[in-house]
Structure 1
Amino acid sequence: MKSIAVLAALCWSFGSLASCLAADQPNFIIIFTDDQGYNDLGCFGSKKIETPNIDRLAREGRKYTSFYTACSVCSPSRAALLTGSYPKRVGMHKHVLFPQSDYGLNPAEYTIADHLKSQGYATACVGKWHLGHHPETLPRANGFDSYYGIPYSNDMNHPDNKGKPRLPSDELWANQASAIEIWNTPLFENEEIIELPVDQRTITRRYTDRAIDFVKSNQDKPFFLYLPHSMPHIPLYVPDDSYDPNPANAYTCVIEHIDAEVGRLADTVRDLGLSEKTYIIYTTDNGPWLQFKNHGGSADPLRAGKGTTFEGGQRVPCVMWAPGRIPAGTTTDAFVTTMDLLPTIASITGSQLPSEKKIDGVDISSTFETDHSPRNELIFYSAQGVLEGIRMGDWKYLSKVKTKGKNKPAGRERFLFNLAKDIGEQENLIENESAIAAKLDARMVAADEEITGAARLVWKREAVPAN
């Protein structure tokens, strides 16, 4: 206690207490791609895509094979990662935001960036935000010191999402200049549009340039970098030196370009001597957009992809790297979600989260060295925020609304899978294990009732009175 008092006195003399106490804390980099499949990395089994830099992070770190996002589409997934909460708990569960949307993540929520900033960290968001494009909902309102990136998906147009091209993906790939000739996606610096349209051919590289500048500028103090790449969400673009005109290789080109840029950033951390005090987490917001074929990825051996509550929609690749803190060359099947990152980061930094904000994440730092996770369940909501399922332990139960003509409801289709034996969700055990299904259904409903009853409000723009 005496030494802490002396340290506090020195901090009072030479700067803020938070900054001084943070001096020896580790750095955190979260790299979050868009629509990347479970099978779209070499270290996760891809036979087509070469990702030597991310594979190196896996060799030097730990691969997570049961890592989940909280939703199968962009905005809810991102809200969950940053707040440690189910999207429904923070009101961000009803599909994705568009340029004409009048709501966004409430700045009253408590994010990873809010928490680390309160601990004296420098914080930056570089990339796709997609939690609201109004100034009140952009990154600087949610704990980040700076923002550089696009506010929503790269297939959305400023200001009202009108005028979007209706061209085949192969045709867009063949005409890389369409990035600026057809699309009207904005690039933001903090709250201002600085480029319209953004040149998507170079955006992955420019994100990395900004990320590297941030790391270099803050190498002498702890930092948090959130790097949500806007690729490989369609439309796909790359710089000239990464371009293959064969559209069959479009998706491969984009992932391999991302890998090269991840390598540049990781090498910067190594070259600055920051390896043993930096955590790098690489993952993605949801599974692959399979309907776009060679412009979408692969979730093999999982079932389905983006937009579904099958494993291919929400079980995603994840690599965690922290030399000296996470054992090298290891793999775990521990049950983990993006919601667990906030409480885990708080645990690593020895800091407390505010008790007034209930969250759904748990501290999974035990999984760095063991296969034991304190998480035992995950509630599954559809892309529209409808309750659809639950995983408890190795069992996964889904109750999905069936539809017929014009999407009219036609009862429910129920599934029960043992993921330990059937990762591809091919054997429906609903008839043979009805007692287990009933137990899971009851728990799913009870959990949803609690989340719904305690849900917090999103930020919503007030209507402008008519003159």
Structure 2
Amino acid sequence: MATRRAARLVAMAAAMLAAVRCGAARGLSGSRPNIVWIMADDLGYGEPSYMATDSPHGRISTPNIDRLSSEGLRFTSAYTGEAVCSPSRGSLMTGYHTGHAYIRGNYPYDGHDLPLRNTDVTYAEVLRGAGYRTLWVGKSGLGWVDNSGAPWRLGFDYFYGQPDQAGCHDMYPVGYNGTDPAAAGRPTVFDNTTALYLPQNVGASRERCMQQGGGGCWYTHDAWTNKSLELIEQEAARQRAELAAGAQEAAPFALLVAYTDPHAGGWSGEQETGAPVPSDGQYGKEAWPDVERDHASVISNYLDRDVGRIVQALQQQGLQEDTVVFFASDNGAHNEGGHDVHFFNSSGPLRGYKRALFEGGVRSPSWIRWPGKVAPGTSDQPWAFWDVLPTFADLAGANRSAYPADIDGRSIVPLIDGSGAYNASERLFYFEFCTDIQPWVGGSNRKGWTHSLRQGDWKIVAFELDGEYMLFNLADDLGEENNLASSHPDIVQRMAALAKGQHTESALFPSHDCRPS
């Protein structure tokens, strides 16, 4: 299988390189931009302060995200790939929504991470075939190091982070050096294929790691940021060296920075206990529960701070006008580890949160910044994670033959740079997910294979594949409070037929045997 994959990639690379647009030189990487995708984990639609609505505890401060988004194009209707981590990231990588994707939940039914397959074409493979350097820092959740989902088997030239889904939420990992029994069985950080051993995290605790200077603990968020800054510096130096050596265009790079914030995490082996940060900063004196101080701090003092540092590094290296920066969250706000999703009104005006297919579970506070190419403003045009692969391919100048013809995504480059018309009014935005926490009819929680479809302003949601549909008009009812199904049965019938056409049955995630993940 590996041989077939290698042969396929060689053929893809040859086809894509032949199709790359040459264009006039612009900056270090010529006519094609560097691409930086910064992804938060479980950041709610209403948590950046520029998107926030009033809450009894005020707004979480995000000055860098506010400023940088105001300098770019803000999206009010940007969708994730799913309402939870792994399938959302799989959609980002492969261009399929969860009605067609291989990964449709966090875990399949053997209890382990489900890896992307050798046959799945990822955006990294497309970009690498077009001459890009492909880099990934942080959380994966799409496989393990000994299977087809290892990042270095998905088209990435370099990976630094945590591959496994559950282990990604250990914010103070130890790894295992083969001898230390205190580290046995602990999640591991990898520098490419090399497992790291971090003995300073043995016995990590709130008391020790929140001491002055972090108590000597090794915190994943800081590590992801430091590595990202290092890579930006290295890539800028490489590009300058290539040009100095006579290259007409330096090879551009694509960097994925996949933070784990503000996902619930753990100290030591403890899991899902809020956002364990080394410092609560300006929130330390608030009379709030520890978990809420930590939640606000990880967004303000870590995520927001370091989004600013990454963009500043691009500026310092002279890459600002050569680099398009995307910011998004993988799904809606979480309500886990003791954090109350209503404490800061994390979903803003939207109904629902993580694991729900109401808008609060799948809308992202997204923006794109590309000085000189993307005009500042706000767009309500919808797009979704499955549009990323064809969008990146378009930015790279790759031919359409570089990836499967049947993907669900389409390029949003015309929306980004105004180079052409983009009208999403007839597009279908489909999600499906097995959940058991979503308040449904009568306010009760039921287990079911939830699915939803948006087309234009209309949206339907049902709790089972053949269940009763709810109908909302998002233009008039963004909070999905008024079910119009009985008033518009014709619209429900038409959209239900469209939704059924977006679902293919999955042996690993069968709709008739729904098991929440």
- CA 1:241–1:391 in structure 2 vs 1: closer, same or farther (change >3 Å)? closer
Cα shift readout 1:117-158 (whole Å, capped 9, x = no counterpart) = 111111111000000113331111001011111123466789
In 1, the alpha carbon distance for the partners of 2:316 and 2:224 equals 19
Query: Residue type matched to 2:233 in 1?
Result: K
- CA 1:189–1:263 in structure 2 vs 1: closer, same or farther (change >3 Å)? same
Query: Residue type matched to 1:210 in 2?
Result: K
Give percent identity, aligned residues only.
30
2:202 pairs with 1:213: no
Deviation at 1:393, TM superposition (A): 0.7
Which residue is equivalent to 2:244?
Answer: none
Which residue is equivalent to 1:138?
Answer: 150
Deviation at 1:290, TM superposition (A): 2.5
- CA 1:96–1:288 in structure 2 vs 1: closer, same or farther (change >3 Å)? farther
CA contact 2:95–2:389 (8 Å) conserved in 1: yes
The answer for unaligned runs of 5 or more in structure 2 is: 1-16, 23-28, 171-181, 205-216, 240-250, 266-274, 436-447, 510-517
Aligned to 1:104, what secondary structure does the other structure show? Answer: coil
Which residue is equivalent to 1:194?
Answer: 196
2:150 pairs with 1:185: no
- CA 1:332–1:194 in structure 2 vs 1: closer, same or farther (change >3 Å)? same
Query: Residue type matched to 1:130 in 2?
Result: G
2:428 pairs with 1:389: no
Aligned to 2:328, what secondary structure does the other structure show? Answer: strand
In 2, the alpha carbon distance for the partners of 1:97 and 1:441 equals 27
- CA 1:388–1:48 in structure 2 vs 1: closer, same or farther (change >3 Å)? same
Aligned to 2:120, what secondary structure does the other structure show? Answer: coil
* Equivalent in 314, 317, 324 of residue 269 of structure 1: 314
Which residue is equivalent to 2:496?
Answer: 441
Scaled by the length of structure 1, the TM-score of the pair is 0.80
In 2, the alpha carbon distance for the partners of 1:420 and 1:94 equals 30
In 1, the alpha carbon distance for the partners of 2:21 and 2:467 equals 57
Which residue is equivalent to 2:119?
Answer: 108
- CA 1:181–1:138 in structure 2 vs 1: closer, same or farther (change >3 Å)? closer
CA contact 1:84–1:339 (8 Å) conserved in 2: yes
Deviation at 1:415, TM superposition (A): 0.7
* Count of residues in Structure 1 that have an aligned counterpart in Structure 2: 409
2:64 pairs with 1:53: yes
Query: Residue type matched to 1:229 in 2?
Result: Y
Which residue is equivalent to 2:46?
Answer: 39
- RMSD of Structure 2 on Structure 1 (CA): 3.2
Aligned to 2:35, what secondary structure does the other structure show? Answer: strand
Which residue is equivalent to 1:3?
Answer: none
Which residue is equivalent to 2:484?
Answer: 429
2:134 pairs with 1:123: yes
In 1, the alpha carbon distance for the partners of 2:331 and 2:224 equals 20
CA contact 2:21–2:397 (8 Å) conserved in 1: no
Which residue is equivalent to 1:462?
Answer: none
2:403 pairs with 1:358: no
Worse-superposed segment, 79-88 or 431-440: 79-88
2:148 pairs with 1:151: no
2:266 pairs with 1:254: no
- CA 1:156–1:112 in structure 2 vs 1: closer, same or farther (change >3 Å)? closer
In 1, the alpha carbon distance for the partners of 2:403 and 2:187 equals 39
* 1:262-341 matched pairs, under 5 angstroms: 262-292=307-337, 294=339, 296=341, 298-328=346-376, 330-341=377-388
Deviation at 1:99, TM superposition (A): 11
* 1:446-457 matched pairs, under 5 angstroms: 446-448=501-503, 451-452=504-505
- CA 1:94–1:154 in structure 2 vs 1: closer, same or farther (change >3 Å)? closer
Deviation at 1:23, TM superposition (A): 4.6
- CA 1:99–1:121 in structure 2 vs 1: closer, same or farther (change >3 Å)? farther
Aligned to 1:340, what secondary structure does the other structure show? Answer: helix
